[in-house]
Structure 1
């Protein structure tokens, strides 16, 4: 039996740093190029899109990223599109790729419709006929306005203003308007799209606009293309990585992977896969630093992460639901976390001492991030233990030492 070509963890980190634009030489000029390189940017937290793009652009500005997300020409939609796709999660993808990711993951909207229907029925007593009538009225109102906030739509369609309690038996119970599940459902089905937010670039309250119908595309063909793009950006990957990232069934994952004619390679985790033209290793490069936001597509790109993230760091860097917070990177590896204090100052903590060169590079990356933020304070949607302590000015909000060293000093009373 012929041995499979091997790809080491170090080679994978080299690929990660270059293909995910985490080096000075690979930075690009636009948010569209960033989204293309990574297939898409996680968009559950609106700030993630801006921070993920900025980390990979040569001269990032909020205005440039905002324009790519929301500016439209005559009869055209923005260059980037927000789509509920992989794992029923919001991503920002290149507009030209939106039909592919939508059709590749279209079945993910079926549970969303069931969830929204059940919520409206149980909370407000809506049957299918009433929900369908409200949807039609909403779409008519949106077509007349062109763009509208949920509050404006509720003024046109009073049923959308009906309120109900979400999770009434839980300590985090909250009130919600009917507009929220109805708009969420229509967005998941590609019938409306999120337009420019009501507030700043960190706001999650969007205006809404009609969406163009997705052109027809066979689901199997769309899955193959999405798998090919994922392999190009994230390869080598395991079957488990691709299944987790897309949310597909194992059968659909294997079929899409086979259709790409992927080449099997040997990884520390077992068998991985790369595109046929992507077997040869890349030349090693000097390590560089990067500060990435919570839910960044690089940090959330693989199911198996030991080759770029020490498992011992997981409790500090992830919340209980598996969402990663803001991270500090060096040479394609996670080495710490960052956050902003009450005054907006960027604080960070390194979970291992990477040496003087790395520490200097991290300080430079903090300078780039600070310039981009320009006084804006960002709080991640999903708070992680270390990020919370950094934002509150806890003992980890420094630039030197590891947790272990700090604990030792504390034990000595120093």
Structure 2
């Protein structure tokens, strides 16, 4: 069986994820497509991940793509997580993942309404949604608070999990807005504050055109294998949140070819993707929490030493800011209150790597300017570096 070494996997990562300086791009859309999808749970991550791969890093081109020409869009999709993808890929992500997520969100909320016992049902929810859409159409864009002020029903409160330990009272506004966004009927527009904020304004949108779910899963698997292959079935299952049957169906549809990985496990690549690639120039990167290059696989052993996990992950399995050298995670970094980036190396990397990391830290400082970034998911090393 054809063998692809861990070193070759790291070379592919540096090249295909646009992390080597000579491979950076001028286009935020090209960045998103290179990694298939940018994690967007933390709004700042989108900017940090994109600028790490731009030839001319800066906030303006990312904002233009997100809010100007809307060539990048946010979708609640894989693993019920918020991602940013290119507008071209969005219908595929919608059919393969987001529709299922949206349907589950609606079912869950309707159950909460029924459990509340006050007669709130699907018909009531449809009316609230229409009122919310009308209020948004009147305003063009609005925050959740502004929509709640305009639509009295959004100020309704319900009891969730009645009679159970988790019982509590919740407002419905955030759930109604979340469902409308998951179904593509509204979208997240400009942030209320700077690019580091996670408070959005909302704008009207149209649901994505219908695509066949099986064909969409195959296309998403093809793009993922191109960016992350060779990889295992378990990697694709974890990344997408699909069942194993759907993963294997998609792999078969794209003609995925089995190869042997460095640890002896079976991996998969696209049939035309067997040949080795030349190494790019040596490269260093400071990547943010939840960056796709760290979150693309369930098994990250080929680029993440096992001894580094405790310092770099939170208790829920979210990876924090990482320092990279030639395809390996070699440490973690943070930004202090005064804006200075600071890092700690967990591997001995030598003088060349240290100089390259210094240069990346300087590049980060230049484009970030006065902004201050605190990850939503704090890890032990990130917390320690900021004290």
Partner residue of 2:90 out of 76, 98, 104: 98
Q: Deviations over 1:342-393 (max 9, x none)?
A: 212111000111111111111101001111110111000111111111111x
Unaligned runs of 5+ residues in structure 1 are 73-77, 393-414
Aligned CA distance change for structure 1 residues 371 and 175 (closer, same or farther; 3 Å): farther
1:15-414 matches, within 5 Å, as 15-72=12-69, 78-105=70-97, 106-120=99-113, 125=118, 126-162=120-156, 177-267=171-261, 268=263, 270-392=265-387
Q: Secondary structure at the match of 1:264?
A: strand
Conserved in 1, the CA contact under 8 Å of 2:14 and 2:280?
no
Unaligned runs of 5+ residues in structure 2 are none
Q: Deviations over 1:160-187 (max 9, x none)?
A: 1345799999xx9998642211111111
Aligned pairs, number = 383
TM-score, normalised relative to structure 2: 0.94
Kindly state the Cα deviation for residue 156 of structure 1 after the two structures are TM-superposed.
1.6
Stretch moving more, 79-88 or 106-115: 106-115
Q: Deviations over 1:382-407 (max 9, x none)?
A: 11111111111xxxxxxxxxxxxxxx
Output the CA distance in 2 between the equivalents of 1:335 and 1:142: 47
Q: Deviations over 1:279-337 (max 9, x none)?
A: 00001334310000001011000011000001111111111111110000000010000
Q: Deviations over 1:99-141 (max 9, x none)?
A: 0011011222232223333445556943333222211211122
Output the CA distance in 1 between the equivalents of 2:385 and 2:158: 36
Conserved in 2, the CA contact under 8 Å of 1:120 and 1:178?
no
Kindly state the Cα deviation for residue 269 of structure 1 after the two structures are TM-superposed.
5.0
Kindly state the Cα deviation for residue 209 of structure 1 after the two structures are TM-superposed.
1.2
Aligned CA distance change for structure 1 residues 379 and 279 (closer, same or farther; 3 Å): same
Output the CA distance in 2 between the equivalents of 1:84 and 1:47: 17
Q: Deviations over 1:83-106 (max 9, x none)?
A: 111111111000111000110112
Conserved in 1, the CA contact under 8 Å of 2:15 and 2:280?
no
Output the CA distance in 1 between the equivalents of 2:275 and 2:140: 50
Q: Secondary structure at the match of 2:14?
A: helix
Output the CA distance in 2 between the equivalents of 1:41 and 1:164: 34
Output the CA distance in 1 between the equivalents of 2:198 and 2:157: 19
Conserved in 2, the CA contact under 8 Å of 1:287 and 1:332?
no
TM-score, normalised relative to structure 1: 0.88
Q: Deviations over 1:198-247 (max 9, x none)?
A: 11111111111122221111000000000000011111111001111000
Q: Secondary structure at the match of 2:324?
A: strand
Output the CA distance in 2 between the equivalents of 1:22 and 1:219: 32
Conserved in 1, the CA contact under 8 Å of 2:323 and 2:333?
yes
Conserved in 2, the CA contact under 8 Å of 1:166 and 1:174?
yes
